Structure 1
Amino acid sequence: MRGAPESATAAIARRVLILSCVDGLGPTGVDTHIRAAVRILEEAGREVEIVHPHGVRTPELLLIKVAQRIAGKLATKETRTRLARLAYARALRVKLRRRLRAASGRPVTIYAQDSISSATAGQQRQGAATRVVTVVHFNRSEAEELAVKGLTQVGGPLYRSAQAWERRSMVAADRILFVSDFMRHEVLGRYGPDVAARSSMLGLWPEDEIAPSSREEAQRDLIAIGTLEPRKNQRFLLEVLSACVEHGYRYTLTLIGDGPDRAALEAEAETLGIADLIDFRGRVNGAQDEIGRHRALIHAALLENMPLTLIETLAHGRPVFCFALGGMPEIVRDGVEGMFLSPDDAAASADKVIALLENRELLTGMERAARTRFEAHFSKAVAAAVLLSELDGPRSTGMTISDIKLV
């Protein structure tokens, strides 16, 4: 005899909508996380769809696009960015509304990847049948990230708008997932016990299975992966390499990624006399495959939430040089899987690079420790259990933020 059907608040949602301002096809950490999450969910038998703002056509969006074209010639970069974010929000609202109507009251989980997506999900949710789970990818805040990129100033219109979206996203979510304790501490400091009660930790994991690389595969010394921009701080890497040369060690460095700083970095390499040691590879598909062809990864970003590149390096069984900033100390332990560099002292950092690369026994020990830490803390199996548990939790209590105007 069949039992009574599960209630909307108890049933596991077989359908998961991954809501995001990016489409999951790009090279960013968010894109990579989306693809990795899709794989886990599909393997668990879930019906998954990535819902992004691209390709939507409505009269409202056409008006916004006209405004964007006009702004492209007359307005500031800040105004253009704010219009683009507004267009994303409206397009997500249209797409999500259609998907939820098609669900006809059946349980749906929305897995939001950014503040705009999370706030939009909260506005469009359909009562107890919808569960909204958001993951925090940003560093400190989306507003601060926009300021660091030069798109706004602290306290500017776009900055305040991003702060408002973040607040609404925190209200909207049934569960809030943090990929680093660093960011959990940052966000809880702003929003307090209400967010703490709805939060959990979710470790990141590589998109593809990564086998440990052998020592024989290492053809070059150091590799760095990331957009060539001020926040990633590749200029510091050139200074470290130059300091190594002064001590008689000519280590090679592969820079994977492109961006606004490339020309300046190439010129700086020439000035320092190390241009022959650096390979500017540009953007590379499947960049993590290159890690095993190097002896170690060196990462000079001044602030990171939970950089996936460091986790991929552990998977390859390669040590990491990085700063003890942001969420990076949660991945790498100083003297165990890598070494912490000094952000303000390239010479002292060079000493650490030399100490590791010239000590075969130490390097071998860190290679083994790196792979061991990956398997224990960052493997797909470890992350899958947490992700499925959070997405399959109780449906929403029906809280909405429809009374808040999203601009």
Structure 2
Amino acid sequence: MHTHVRELRRFLERSGHPAELVTPHGWAHGRGAALRRLVLLALFGTGAVLERVSGPAHVWWYRTSHEVFLRRTLARRLGDAGPCTVYAQCPLAARAALSARSGPHQRVVLAVHFRISQADEWADKGMVGRGGAVYRWIRSTERAVVPRVDGLVFVSEWARAALRAWLPQAGRVPSTVVHNFVANPQAGAGTQPGYAVPDVPAPRPPTAGDLVSVGSLEAVKNHRYLLRILAAARRSGHPYTLDVFGEGVERGRLLALAEELGISDLVRLQGFCRDVPDRLPGYRAYVHASYSESSSFAIMEAMAAGLPVLSSSEGALHELFDDGVEGRFWPIDDPEAAARILAELLEDGAGVTAAGRAARRRFLRDYDAGAVAPRLLRFLQGGGRGTAAGSGSFPARRPAPAGSRRARR
């Protein structure tokens, strides 16, 4: 979500479209700012205490407090504004915008970043019980909000189908599917959207390792499975190295598993790094094993760097590349079979080069901000065609990404 907002704002700034980022913390600005900041500090600090005591209580407090202050911030911003589009990054942000707007001339469009429902994402993190009171409360919020917005932006066909499967009313809202996008790392700071760029990656820096993976160290990302693939590959005579960029609660467990599998010398947990896109070209392939994704910026950035991709086909991942073209799909329940697929790719030098070039071309066509962001902008401004009846043209002057704390950069 953070990357989606950051990349969109970068595109809007470079293409001359005014935009404003609105967050709950904006309430602390203006008259009485010092006191307002103290209030926010106390309220949001309470959430940190609740997180240690009760997951469901923390989730309820987090969501409720952020919505309250986002609504107040938006009300102050939209009260005297003319026609505009509020691009909400979660259902709570959309509800805050619907409450705060001064009329239908201020359009509210919701980005669907979540997998199925935000309730399921909190459950996956272990913060709420699946089917519990807070879980049901979150789904009830989505049932009430999603059908009321003026438009829905899905980042994959899978995400649209997953939401409509349990919330059929979402099908009545004008919508579009626009894949996430990232700025081309070879474009250069002065390059304008729509530039011409080579379809091959820049020369590779000195080799950093064989495999690389990027993502928070959480159970749903399934890094443990990657380690089991490495162990299987070593047993077959292929001791490939793996660097993982990201932090999270799984770090200790992953280190222990690497030791248990006898591959500690092959695995490096690099932690959080801001320059990951710059490091990617030093690897031979990108690997991914997540259980569920509505999209994947990490895979897109790897393809931008010209890396072939090995991934599960879960969720929306099967939409991102074609098996045997830009990379390979592997099973996530058979590390021996996955290791064989990995070796088949990496031991074929010409195949690795061809898949890397194909990945780069696919990125330029489907995920480069210069190619994709204009389509999103047209829909936000009301000029794009939705898939539900009743989509019309809305005047829009200032597309303003808005969201709870989770939607900020």
- Please indicate the TM-score interval, normalised by the length of the shorter structure: 0.7 to 0.9
Q: Partner residue of 1:76?
A: 54
Structure-2 change in CA distance of 1:198 and 1:314 (3 Å): same
Q: Partner residue of 2:265?
A: 276
> 2:213–2:243: 8 Å Cα contact kept in structure 1?
yes
> 1:114–1:137: 8 Å Cα contact kept in structure 2?
yes
Equivalent positions of 1:348-387 (< 5 A) are: 348-387=337-376
Cα deviations by residue, 1:272-301 (Å, 9 ceiling, x for unpaired): 111111111111113222221110010111
Cα deviations by residue, 1:87-137 (Å, 9 ceiling, x for unpaired): 00001001000000131xx11110111111112112222213201111111
Q: Which moved more, 1:191-200 or 1:38-47?
A: 191-200
Consecutive unaligned residues of structure 2, counting only runs of 5 or more, are: 29-35, 188-200, 383-392, 396-409
Distance (Å, rounded) in 2 between the aligned partners of 1:97 and 1:157: 30
Aligned: 1:99 with 2:77: yes
> 1:210–1:316: 8 Å Cα contact kept in structure 2?
no
1:170: Cα distance to partner? 0.9
1:59: Cα distance to partner? 11
Structure with higher RCO (Cα < 8 A, 6+ apart): 2
Structure 2 counterpart SS, 1:300: coil
> 1:35–1:207: 8 Å Cα contact kept in structure 2?
no
Q: Partner residue of 1:404?
A: none
Structure 2 residue identity aligned to 1:378: Y
1:217: Cα distance to partner? 4.2
Q: Partner residue of 2:68?
A: 90
Structure 2 residue identity aligned to 1:84: Y
Equivalent positions of 1:278-293 (< 5 A) are: 278-293=267-282
Q: Which moved more, 1:232-241 or 1:280-289?
A: 280-289
> 2:181–2:369: 8 Å Cα contact kept in structure 1?
yes
Q: Partner residue of 1:189?
A: 165
Structure 2 residue identity aligned to 1:220: G
Structure-2 change in CA distance of 1:60 and 1:93 (3 Å): farther
Distance (Å, rounded) in 2 between the aligned partners of 1:345 and 1:73: 36
Structure-2 change in CA distance of 1:196 and 1:295 (3 Å): farther
Structure 1 counterpart SS, 2:328: strand
Structure 2 counterpart SS, 1:109: strand
Structure-2 change in CA distance of 1:213 and 1:299 (3 Å): farther
Structure-2 change in CA distance of 1:242 and 1:44 (3 Å): same
Equivalent positions of 1:171-320 (< 5 A) are: 171-192=147-168, 195-207=171-183, 209-210=185-186, 212-215=201-204, 217-320=206-309
Distance (Å, rounded) in 1 between the aligned partners of 2:303 and 2:377: 24
Structure 2 residue identity aligned to 1:155: G
Q: Partner residue of 2:388?
A: none
> 2:243–2:269: 8 Å Cα contact kept in structure 1?
yes
1:323: Cα distance to partner? 0.5
TM-score by length of 2: 0.84
Distance (Å, rounded) in 1 between the aligned partners of 2:39 and 2:208: 51
Structure-2 change in CA distance of 1:89 and 1:366 (3 Å): same
> 1:255–1:279: 8 Å Cα contact kept in structure 2?
yes
Structure 1 counterpart SS, 2:21: strand
Structure 2 counterpart SS, 1:245: helix
> 2:51–2:57: 8 Å Cα contact kept in structure 1?
no
> 2:182–2:300: 8 Å Cα contact kept in structure 1?
yes
Q: Which moved more, 1:61-70 or 1:288-297?
A: 61-70
> 1:188–1:196: 8 Å Cα contact kept in structure 2?
no
Q: Partner residue of 1:395?
A: 394
Structure 2 counterpart SS, 1:250: coil
Distance (Å, rounded) in 2 between the aligned partners of 1:319 and 1:59: 47
Structure-2 change in CA distance of 1:251 and 1:78 (3 Å): same
Q: Which moved more, 1:47-56 or 1:322-331?
A: 47-56
Aligned: 1:47 with 2:18: yes
Structure 2 counterpart SS, 1:296: strand
The one of 84, 90, 93 aligned to 1:117: 93
Distance (Å, rounded) in 1 between the aligned partners of 2:78 and 2:219: 41
Q: Identity, % of aligned pairs? A: 34
Structure 1 counterpart SS, 2:339: helix
Structure 1 counterpart SS, 2:104: helix
Q: Which moved more, 1:217-226 or 1:314-323?
A: 217-226
> 1:123–1:172: 8 Å Cα contact kept in structure 2?
no
> 1:296–1:319: 8 Å Cα contact kept in structure 2?
yes
1:194: Cα distance to partner? 5.5
Distance (Å, rounded) in 1 between the aligned partners of 2:52 and 2:365: 53
Structure-2 change in CA distance of 1:216 and 1:358 (3 Å): farther
Distance (Å, rounded) in 1 between the aligned partners of 2:348 and 2:47: 58
1:32: Cα distance to partner? 1.0
Q: Partner residue of 1:336?
A: 325
